[in-house]
Amino acid sequence: MILVTGGAGMIGSNLVSALNAAGHDHILVVDDLTDGTKFRNIADLRIADYEDKDTFLARIERDEDLELDVVFHQGACSSTTEWDGRFMMNENYAWSKTLMAYCLRRQIPFIYASSAAVYGSSSTFSEEPENETPLNVYGYSKKLFDDYVRRTALSRDEHSPVVGLRYFNVYGPREAHKGTMASVAYHLYQQVGKGENPKLFGAWDGYGAGEQSRDFIHVADVADVALWCWNAEISGIFNCGTGRAEPFRTIAETVVATLGRGNIDYIDFPDHLKGRYQSFTQADISRLRGAGYNGAFRDVASGVRDYIEWLKTRPSS
């Protein structure tokens, strides 16, 4: 059995889709469907079973033998604007520690979601502790678990595979449920679809209007990396990005060109994000390449265009 926690979320459901495409359907999805709209993300996928997160966690704490072949741990609170630190640490840190301990005891490969948010205000995006300066409690929760993994698993001479993937700015199908935390590509598509102009932040932090830049990675490329890590039986913490920083303006221009209407409007940079916003990210993927991954990554223009075409066929997703 393959376990995907957060399997009804954006990255989790795309992992399930990629597993299906590779011929796997013996998949256990674990999630919290309090937001029932997330069912749409897995309604067209093949899984063997679904289990609520709390019920599943109790089974892990009892150390039941679940006969798992691999764990893809994607379940987390991913809101960078959530400031309930107690909630965040329970969801992203304590839950992850419990699940990894189970996997290490039973020699199960454990591939988990870290985040580029650990880098925060840093201008260097390589996987070293000195580069990690998170700007919010979400980024801190991810950094703390990465540190725990380094200390308790990766420091051992022998252990089952453990991989942390530091996701940069992920966009693509099956993210409608994320609301304000959905990708910029999704929000700009929605704006243009309603007859509005796409809106981007104006000049701020030394960047011109729309020129703040991130490493944007299509979710299908993320899934490819995760499945490769499982098959390669490697361990380590790796950046999961394209290695390219591209401006938000390129996303807006691609949305406008694909839909054939709209002009970019620039709005004042919001006060509540000042000092808490990454104006530039670019993954150093040399460690991932050094481990043997040679897959290609979509650039923003091709990836966003593909995503918009997909959205046009499934407007609720």
Residues classed as catalytic: 138, 178
**Could you please report the per-residue DSSP string of 92-145?**
IIIHHHHHHHHHHHHT--EEEEEEGGGTTT-S--SS-GGG---SSHHHHHHHHH
The closest alpha carbon to 19, from 1, 43, 39, 37, belongs to 1
198 DSSP 8-state letter: P
Tokens of 107: 């020699």
Beta carbons of 76 and 6 less than 8 angstroms apart:
yes
Torsion angle, alpha carbons of 152, 153, 159, 161, to 10: 160
- Residue 213, classed as helix, strand or coil, is strand
Angle at 77 between CA 85 and CA 269, to 5 degrees: 80
